[in-house]
Amino acid sequence: MSFRQPSKRSFAVAVGTATAVLVGVPAAAVVPGTAFVAPVPISLALLCGIAATVLALRVPSLPISLVRARVHLGVLAVPLGVVVVAPFLFPALDLSGSPDDGLLLGLLAVFVASGALYVATTNRYAVLLNAAHSPIAEWRARPDARYSRRVRVASFVGGIAALALPLLVHLPGVRLLPGIGGVLIAQSIFYRRSRTYQLFDDGLLIRASGTVVYQFVPAGQLSSVKRGPDAISIRRSLPWPFPIRCAVDELARPDELLSTLRDAIERRP
């Protein structure tokens, strides 16, 4: 199974497995008196997982529909939102228990399943997009050095603060901050990796070097583009406040790319 270029069968297996977990864990949590291995949640999870697998095999365009409807992002965002909000709504709820805690194991399973579904859907969509269309433009570049320096410093400081805050403040949800801090510190280390960009009529595909995960920005979210002394900046509509920046000195024909991007944004739906 290739994570970077999943086949239809690999995508179906990933979708079915993730669906089973995403249905089974909440079902086990809400059905009174059942454990995570109880028959009812397991049966429900298996049925939903099989149905999702069959659907993915029978409907080749499923990844396209999921990406265009942003379902894969919703599946990724909802569990995170629940984990952030739940401690404030239910202060007695402890989401930072021991590894033997069923609730903690269930949350970890949901996060892994959500991430797997996001990766499989986005990457399968990238395969289908490249098979059906040739990119309008394709280039490889890093973010410019000055902007990268600012992002890395801000990410590192934010990560250290997130790691330290649980030691100083005792509030609901604060114990979850070390995980966010780890992500921010990792971003500060790897942010300036080069990225491969592919521009299509449907939007912009982005993949950072050394990773297997694609990011897709729909054409409707590309709001403007401009060239500065150091970089070409591609701005996205809300809720994305930060631009995509490509260092000018790493582009073979920056003026031609700027013109192509402007034409694509003007044609956006």
Kindly provide the residue ranges of all beta strands, DSSP E only, lying in the chain, ordered along the sequence: 137-141, 195-199, 203-208, 214-218, 222-227, 231-236, 244-247
What is the C-alpha separation between 125 and 131, in angstroms, rounded?
10
| CATH fold of the domain at 137-266 | PH-domain like (2.30.29)
Total-model pTM: 0.83
pLDDT of residue 34: 52
- C-alpha distance from residue 255 to each of 2, 225, 232, 247 (Å): 36, 12, 9, 13
pLDDT of residue 165: 77
pLDDT of residue 60: 92
221 Cβ neighbours under 8 A, 6+ residues apart: 203, 236, 237, 240
Domain boundaries, the chain: 8-132, 137-266
Write phi, then psi, for 20 (nearest 5 degrees). Answer: -60, -45
pLDDT of residue 146: 86
239 prior amide bond cis, ω within 30: yes
**Series of mean pLDDT values for 10-residue runs along the chain (269 residues):** 80 93 82 61 89 94 91 81 62 50 72 90 94 93 87 87 76 64 80 90 90 89 91 88 90 93 84
pLDDT of residue 99: 47
Q: Helices 102-132 & 71-89, crossing angle to 10 degrees?
A: 160
